Amino acid sequence: MHNPQPLSGLPLDELESVLKPLPRFRAAQIFKWIASGVGDAAGVSGFEEMSNLPQPLRKELAENLILRPLVTVEKHCGDDGSAKLALQFSDGVWVEAVLLSDNSGRRTACLSTQAGCPAGCVFCKTGMGFSRNLNSAEIVEQFFLLVKVSERPVSNIVVMGMGEPLLNPGELRRALEVITSRQGIGFSKRRITVSTCGIAQGIVDLADNGPAVRLALSLTTADEDLRRRLMPITASQSLQEVKKALLYFQERGGGRVTLEAVLLGGVNTRPEDAFSIANFAKGLDAVINLIPWNPVKGLELEGKAICQPSASEVETFTRELEKLGLKVTRRFRRGRGVMGACGQLGGRREKRE
């Protein structure tokens, strides 16, 4: 009975295997304890709290296994009910996770899958460096901690924090299996959205192997050359390949996808940008989500400082898309008060001294 990874990141079948020769019902009990209190206390913190386990077993488990990751937490709260947690794991890496609040009071947990991000998008603070993938327990831990700080039940999860989720598919899948299992937390898969910059192979893998979550593509622009300049990782992922993967995802029952466009002042808000997005969206069941760029100091595109689009620029671009027959939504700038909005994560990378 030994496992170096915390039990909180293990799906039930893996937990049963790790706990052998204990009977399966013991694994089921522990799995429930890991999930217990979600919506209130967000899971037990130690084996000693598992009151329906014999005391000698609780002692043995504590001596041989790790229940949850060791983590140091810094909390930053905003006036709108949003909160950002900066988490430092035992090896010193920092990760940020955000609780977002909208005007209706709905709470959304925004989770990270990597420490930093290898995608290198020039308009995103997270892309300024990459440390490592997170394991499933570290992803689940973010959810537990966000639930704990939320004053209301968390109704949605977006995997849109630090990192490219589809470059860490195995650990993401395990984490979501823990979060959605009916034997444990039981969070609805249809209330989870995974956002990708366009890893075509990862989209196909998600379509084939699940989980059956919602999918968002960080498109930003459908101008191939501009997209590669803004998002270097897309040089190996052509828009044609990405669209083919999205069509396959929908053929396999994946449902409507969201095409996200971060609007950069004077860069990707021209009429031709609207036309190229409309052309990319043809044949897809898609909604366009416009995200006015959230300011981050020091970010540049080819030597020129990136700036926010004006209100009239956003309005004109929205109308252009709608004229082309597209369904368009705008993302509210949630989390800006704690530097936890889209593109603003990644302020804590250094190891605490």
- Under a CB-based contact definition with an 8 Å cutoff, are residues 140 and 174 in contact? no
| Predicted pLDDT of residue 251 | 97
pLDDT 10s digits, 243-270: 999 999 999 999 999 999 999 999 999 9
Instruction: pLDDT band for 42, please (50, 70, 90 cuts).
Output: low
Q: Where are the alpha helices (DSSP H) in the chain?
A: 12-18, 24-35, 55-64, 136-149, 169-180, 200-209, 224-230, 239-251, 271-281, 311-323
| Predicted pLDDT of residue 45 | 87
144: pLDDT strictly greater than 60:
yes
| Predicted pLDDT of residue 15 | 96
| Predicted pLDDT of residue 151 | 82
- Distance, in Å, from the CA atom of 73 to the CA atom of 89, rounded to the nearest integer, reads 9
Residues annotated catalytic, as ranges: 96, 342
Instruction: pLDDT band for 334, please (50, 70, 90 cuts).
Output: low
- Please enumerate in sequence order all residues whose Cβ is within 8 A of that of 36, keeping only pairs 6 or more positions apart, or say none: 43, 44
pLDDT 10s digits, 280-294: 999 999 999 999 998
Separation of CA 308 from chain center: 24
| Predicted pLDDT of residue 79 | 80
338: pLDDT strictly greater than 50:
no
pLDDT 10s digits, 170-212: 999 999 999 999 998 999 999 999 999 999 999 999 999 999 9
Instruction: pLDDT band for 146, please (50, 70, 90 cuts).
Output: very high
- Please enumerate in sequence order all residues whose Cβ is within 8 A of that of 198, keeping only pairs 6 or more positions apart, or say none: 217, 218, 219, 231, 234, 237, 239, 242
- Please enumerate in sequence order all residues whose Cβ is within 8 A of that of 222, keeping only pairs 6 or more positions apart, or say none: 239, 273, 276, 277, 279, 280
Instruction: Give the amino acid at 287.
Output: V
- Please enumerate in sequence order all residues whose Cβ is within 8 A of that of 41, keeping only pairs 6 or more positions apart, or say none: 148
User: Token match 């989870």: residue?
Assistant: 192
| Predicted pLDDT of residue 333 | 54
Closest CA to 231 of 241, 221, 240, 244: 221
pLDDT 10s digits, 62-109: 999 999 999 999 998 888 788 999 999 999 999 999 999 888 878 999
pLDDT 10s digits, 105-137: 789 999 999 999 999 899 988 766 799 999 999
Instruction: Give the amino acid at 203.
Output: I
> What mean pLDDT is reported for the chain?
90
In the chain, the domains with their CATH numbers are 7-64 (1.10.150), 71-338 (3.20.20.70)
Q: Who has greater pLDDT, 112 or 348?
A: 112
Closest CA to 223 of 265, 261, 166: 261
- Under a CB-based contact definition with an 8 Å cutoff, are residues 87 and 322 in contact? no
